[in-house]
Chains A and B, each alone.
Chain A
């Protein structure tokens, strides 16, 4: 049975097509979910793609957070549904309070558009299963506000709970713990590139796995993350564990 995954399209999303394709490459049926509709079309997981939703006006992700589709996404997440935010999608999730922390303007005050490496912190989550832990994965970043921030107490708690999923590393796999390390493209605290919520069903990351999903793009390292999501969603669908949401 092919699992259906939804990709939200906000005005200003620009990685939606790449994400739809990336998910198809790893065996999913991917469908676009329009921001003005609360209908999730019975998907087994939702991806919020990269881009500049609503022009990133005010703060990246905040206007998108209040769009009709996000009411359904929030209900889906609250009921245990899998949600992944990539880049701008991560910013939307953070603004919505669905994942902890905030994405500040890059420490350099410059847009970071280049190839970086991240390492998977743990391979036993719906977003990382099957991915090699601690191995540098090459993929692009493309953002102006990607500096991960949470207060010290929250950072400690995230570490304790195993909510840090990805960290920026150099090519040898060394964590770019110093925020000014060139391997840390935005100055994120503790080199955090991606986190998940406490319940373990909502995750966000700044780098773009969908832009590194096949060799012709320069890397297929991102494919493992898309595969993890699709496999996790398929398993949940098989077990009848996909929440139904009805939002007016």
Chain B
């Protein structure tokens, strides 16, 4: 996959609680399931998804920026893991109305 210089790329960072870390939100969701008459669901873990656009000379440099951001700010490595997803050139990725360009 190649991009012209300074193409803005759209990324998503998915942050999830590390295995074994207490996730009271996930547990609360799970506990609500009987009220919806849903059974057979377990292991609910609640995380966070952050989408962002990065302008950089190369795809590699854009990824490096996202990795640093994910590691230092978007996740707390003590308790959370993250995965970076590249969504493609920002111009091609539909963004919600009102999103910061």
Contacts and interface: CB of A to CB of B under 8 A. Distances in A.
Given A58-B73, A62-B73, A95-B76, A105 B21 contact: no
Interface SS of B by simple majority? helix
B24 A62 contact: no
Contacts of A66: 73
Given A58-B73, A66-B73, A105 B78 contact: no
B21 A149 contact: yes
Nearest to A150: B78
A150 B28 CA distance: 22
A66 B21 CA distance: 25
A105 B73 contact: no
A35 interface: no
B93 interface: no
A107 interface: yes
Contacts of A62: 73, 76
Contact of B22 (A58, A101, A107, A150): A107
Nearest to B17: A104
B28 to A, nearest CB: 5
B8 interface: no
B9 interface: no
B8 to A, nearest CB: 23
A108 B24 contact: yes
Q: Which 3 A-B pairs have the closest CB atoms?
A: A109-B24, A102-B78, A102-B79
14 contacts: A58-B74, A62-B76, A66-B73, A101-B78, A102-B76, A102-B78, A104-B79, A105-B25, A106-B24, A109-B24, A149-B21, A149-B78, A150-B78, A187-B24
Interface of A: 58-59, 62, 66, 95, 101-102, 104-109, 147, 149-150, 187
